[in-house]
Structure 1
Amino acid sequence: MDVLCSVLSQLPMEEAVKTSILSCQWKYIWCHQTSLNFNCKTIMPRVAWSTREAVRQEFIKRVNAVLRQRNGAGVEKMNIRFDLDDRHAADVDRWVNLAIASKTKVLTLELWLDSPAIVYRLRVSDPERMEPYNFPFQLFDECNGSHLRSLHLSTVSLKLPTNFKGFLNLKKLYLSGVSITDEDLGHFVSKCSVLEFLGVLFCTMLETLTIPHSANQLKHLQIRCCPLLHKVRLNYSLKMLVYKGPVTYFVSDRTSSLTDACINLLDVRTSLKHLFAELSGSTSCPKSVATKCRDLERSIPPRSSTCFLGLRHVKLEVTILVSSESGTDVLDLGHLLKAAPSMEKLELHMWMRRKHKPYCRDDGDLRILPAHPHSHLKLVHITGFYGHKDQLELADHILRNCVVLEEMKVDPRVAIEKLSTSEDEYEESRNLDGLRVASEFLHDADRHGALTVSLSLPRPKVTMIWI
């Protein structure tokens, strides 16, 4: 019996339930499965229903029927994903109670079928819409809450009681589209002393996110699309930061141990302004930074000081939209050599919608930044190289100043997502222009034989014919 239960525990629930028809002995073995996954695919038949509420009631009926056959068997993981709200609180409370009684370690409540962004827009357009389900913190105490290791809540309301004791062994917390205030989130995290991962997605009430010092085990912070968030106070123990959204100021009270930062800015007008003015002055420098944004205007970086003493790896994904004297100048990125003296790897991935002709000798001499020998940069990868003058000047500056350069790849093809496909018909000619310009003008600056200019062709499709 133990062997059979172990085998069924590796199957999806719908497959495990099907084994009940094999024999009388097999009829209830599936009830010992330790992972329960309730959603449209696993529990609802493929039939048409008269109303959406009828679908909800059938879903609730089927979940209750499954749980009644559990006979108190333990549940390691419980995942509930369906369109439910505060009207169905009694049933959802009952399921949470069963998870508590079963000492569930991983609990997921995603009470909407659409994305949190769609849910938010629907609520704004329909103010009479029912309130989201209010997560029942009152059902947990220091004893029965100690079994939780991972908690994923989506499209629910979180109102912490004054006597909230927290989850003593919770290591992962993910909040998606939840209604929670700055104060409640800070209090929530402070009561989870061993928390290692915190994810926050589309929490529209948050304005300031503060990681308390009591959460000194937190290593990974992920923030995505919180439209009002303007300030994040980091914990000194943080190792990895992933951020997507509008420009936000990051600050740390103590020396941060942050090693990796991946930042996707949705409303910034220049990557350099953020790198030099915001990121460098707000927290201790990580070893790896990845920034993605759309560049619309030029911003001159400071030239008098180094900003990123510990930075080893820089990855920039830049979409350049404006063609004018005030627009982005790619050569400005050459100041990174001075700002990051310990940088070992640089990736620059570009896509340009602006229309410039490729460089030729009639366009005048190349501009040259002040010489600044760099003794650590070994690997450079540039994509989206169309052969524009400022692109050529940047590549030339890197080649002339990096004294230990081992490999520099220049690729005209675009490696990042394009905002438009309307110019795809010109893409091949741009690739050939970039290939010609790089091959003609960069080799003189290549003192170490590190330069490789090529087109990274996609892998050919393989058709297998069976005879």
Structure 2
Amino acid sequence: MSRLPDDILVVILSSLPLKEAGCTSVLSSSWKNLWKQTSRLNFNASSALDKIARDPKLRCEERRMYVRWVNSVLKSAPRKEALNLEHFRICFDVGKGFSGTITKWLKFAFKRRVERLELNLLEYGDNESEKQYVFPEDILFRKSIDIPHQTTTLYNFNSLKVLCFKNISINDEAIEFFLRNCTSLEQLVLQDINQLSNLEVRGPSLVLKSLYESFCVGLESIKVSAPNLTSLAVSITEGLVLENVPILVDLAITCQKRHMPLLVPALSCCFSQLEILTLRLPWGYKDHDIARFNFPELLELKKLVVDFTPERDASVLGLMTFMRISPNLEEFLLMIGYNGTLSCASREVNKGTPFPHQHLKVFQYLGYYGRCSDMEVVMFIVENCVGLQQIIIDPSMPLELLHTPLDPDELEREEVCRSYAKQQLEPIVPPHITLAIR
């Protein structure tokens, strides 16, 4: 391999995890500095985050070690600005106490004309605004003293294609600056962001294909006009304005019960073209509320995801209404959460109003507990979906924090639920349908 040209070796090293690439420096003198030219700086520290999840007392020490690691790599990186960065990723529980250091990391990435920038500063911990890093606008542009509203851009952002901010504070003006000045920006991710209030995603030269917004505290409105947008995820319904989204086919939205009347009007411009729809319906909905949405027919819809939290063991057969209005649906993922203590009601299993569905092939049930409400959904699917090929049952609940270890009691509960699923469903699922219990 040493006979290969250096530029080929650098490409190979760029495909390795950063720490492994750094270890190649001991192979020989000719390899000593090769890894420093890597175009992908992914500072992944999953093992350290797992340690913190198990023992929070390790957080401060692991944080210091992470900061030293990043600083060391950036210090040894070549100073040639001609070497563009393909990927720069920071992902650790680093907050306001390291603001100056984080800003230096960002300046390094901008100077190297980064193509994919990911800044996630709280992979594990509390999402509190006073602890968050505040993104400084003055690293993006300089305002003119003499001419009002005139600014000078400090870096060339034409290479930036993916921008991901999680768990930081950044305002509308800074995000809109990126949208105006990043002429190649295709994907924007904003999660757990403070200081956003009225976000406008629009512009005549916008090439944005994917926009993801989630849990941005204080966000009052999102206005989107993006002719190239194909995928959109938002966590608000009130204040959502969509226009000029002619090729939007993948939509995810959270709708609080008090905003039910706003959902259909907000999405009216894109119902006829949607192929994938994710609906998050938090605590507070009743089974009979679903029909009140008054959705139009979704003729192009191929995949539906519904995240629903019922009251105790209340029936969720009302969710099957979504299948009725989606005659060409092929995949249905139902995620059932719970609020408080899981409980099983002593009642008869309901069958619901039957209707044949011709095209559903895969049904997945996440959060199966073995209650009447769980069983009756699967029975309904089996009896009404004539083309069904596979049922996937998973008793696990989604974790709010990625690195949070599962409680032993939760693991035991999941195992019991798998036994329930096996006993309850194997007798009623026909042999031509594959039943997978995970």
TM-score between the two structures when normalised by the length of structure 2: 0.67
- Alignment of 1:302 onto 2:291: yes
| Equivalent in 211, 228, 234 of residue 237 of structure 1 | 228
Alignment of 1:271-286 (within 5 A): 278=263, 281-283=266-268, 284-285=270-271, 286=274
Provide the residue aligned with 1:344 in structure 2.
330
Provide the residue aligned with 2:251 in structure 1.
261
Tell me by how many angstroms 1:74 deviates: 3.6
| Equivalent in 124, 137, 140 of residue 137 of structure 1 | 140
For 1:437 and 1:13, locate their aligned partners in 2 and report how far apart those are by CA, in whole Å. 48
* Structure-2 change in CA distance of 1:400 and 1:215 (3 Å): farther
Query: CA offsets per residue over residues 420-439 of structure 1, 9 Å max, x none?
Result: 87576566665555544445
- Alignment of 1:407 onto 2:407: no
| Equivalent in 67, 74, 85 of residue 99 of structure 2 | 85
Query: CA offsets per residue over residues 16-50 of structure 1, 9 Å max, x none?
Result: 58748945xx4985497253749799xxxxxxxxx
Contact 1:195/1:215 (CA < 8 Å) preserved in 2?
Answer: no
Provide the residue aligned with 1:170 in structure 2.
160
Q: Which amino acid aligns with 2:389?
A: E
- Alignment of 1:33 onto 2:16: no
For 2:74 and 2:195, locate their aligned partners in 1 and report how far apart those are by CA, in whole Å. 33
Secondary structure at 2:175 match in 1:
helix
Q: Which amino acid aligns with 1:302?
A: A
For 1:367 and 1:237, locate their aligned partners in 2 and report how far apart those are by CA, in whole Å. 43
For 1:20 and 1:430, locate their aligned partners in 2 and report how far apart those are by CA, in whole Å. 51
Query: CA offsets per residue over residues 136-182 of structure 1, 9 Å max, x none?
Result: 23489xxxxxxxxxxxxxxxxxxx96355973443222234454332
Contact 1:116/1:177 (CA < 8 Å) preserved in 2?
Answer: no
* Structure-2 change in CA distance of 1:242 and 1:450 (3 Å): farther
Q: Which amino acid aligns with 1:414?
A: P
Contact 2:141/2:152 (CA < 8 Å) preserved in 1?
Answer: no
Tell me by how many angstroms 1:206 deviates: 1.0
Contact 1:297/1:322 (CA < 8 Å) preserved in 2?
Answer: no
Query: CA offsets per residue over residues 254-298 of structure 1, 9 Å max, x none?
Result: 3542222345x5x9469xx86x96267425132112345544440
Provide the residue aligned with 1:7 in structure 2.
9
For 2:397 and 2:351, locate their aligned partners in 1 and report how far apart those are by CA, in whole Å. 27
Query: CA offsets per residue over residues 317-366 of structure 1, 9 Å max, x none?
Result: 4444535xxxx43111121232222222222243555322576xxx4x84
| Equivalent in 218, 222, 225 of residue 208 of structure 2 | 218
* Structure-2 change in CA distance of 1:388 and 1:28 (3 Å): closer
* Structure-2 change in CA distance of 1:226 and 1:358 (3 Å): same
Contact 2:363/2:391 (CA < 8 Å) preserved in 1?
Answer: yes
Which is higher, the Rg of structure 1 or of structure 2? 1
* Structure-2 change in CA distance of 1:332 and 1:433 (3 Å): same
* Structure-2 change in CA distance of 1:354 and 1:319 (3 Å): same
Worse overlay, 344-353 or 29-38: 29-38
Q: Which amino acid aligns with 2:315?
A: D
* Structure-2 change in CA distance of 1:401 and 1:177 (3 Å): closer
Contact 1:170/1:194 (CA < 8 Å) preserved in 2?
Answer: yes
* Structure-2 change in CA distance of 1:226 and 1:279 (3 Å): farther
Q: Which amino acid aligns with 2:263?
A: E
For 1:407 and 1:14, locate their aligned partners in 2 and report how far apart those are by CA, in whole Å. 43
For 1:367 and 1:123, locate their aligned partners in 2 and report how far apart those are by CA, in whole Å. 51
* Structure-2 change in CA distance of 1:39 and 1:161 (3 Å): farther
Q: Which amino acid aligns with 1:342?
A: N
* Structure-2 change in CA distance of 1:107 and 1:116 (3 Å): farther
Tell me by how many angstroms 1:414 deviates: 0.7
Secondary structure at 1:405 match in 2:
coil
Alignment of 1:319-398 (within 5 A): 319-323=309-313, 328-350=314-336, 353-357=341-345, 363=348, 366-369=350-353, 371-382=354-365, 384-386=367-369, 388-398=371-381
Provide the residue aligned with 1:150 in structure 2.
none
- Alignment of 1:180 onto 2:164: no
Q: Which amino acid aligns with 1:335?
A: T
For 1:312 and 1:221, locate their aligned partners in 2 and report how far apart those are by CA, in whole Å. 21
| Equivalent in 218, 228, 235 of residue 228 of structure 1 | 218
For 1:301 and 1:392, locate their aligned partners in 2 and report how far apart those are by CA, in whole Å. 20
Worse overlay, 332-341 or 170-179: 170-179
Tell me by how many angstroms 1:212 deviates: 0.5
**What is the count of residue pairs matched by the alignment?**
390
Q: Which amino acid aligns with 1:136?
A: I
For 1:40 and 1:422, locate their aligned partners in 2 and report how far apart those are by CA, in whole Å. 30
Contact 2:227/2:247 (CA < 8 Å) preserved in 1?
Answer: yes
Provide the residue aligned with 1:417 in structure 2.
398
Provide the residue aligned with 1:190 in structure 2.
180
Which structure has more relative contact order (CA 8 Å, sep 6+)? It is 2
Tell me by how many angstroms 1:239 deviates: 0.9
- Consecutive unaligned residues of structure 1, counting only runs of 5 or more, are 42-50, 125-129, 141-159, 458-467
Tell me by how many angstroms 1:248 deviates: 5.7
Tell me by how many angstroms 1:301 deviates: 2.4
Tell me by how many angstroms 1:197 deviates: 1.0
Contact 1:189/1:215 (CA < 8 Å) preserved in 2?
Answer: no
Tell me by how many angstroms 1:205 deviates: 1.0
For 2:67 and 2:383, locate their aligned partners in 1 and report how far apart those are by CA, in whole Å. 70
Provide the residue aligned with 1:456 in structure 2.
437
For 2:188 and 2:409, locate their aligned partners in 1 and report how far apart those are by CA, in whole Å. 39
- Consecutive unaligned residues of structure 2, counting only runs of 5 or more, are 46-60, 144-148, 401-406
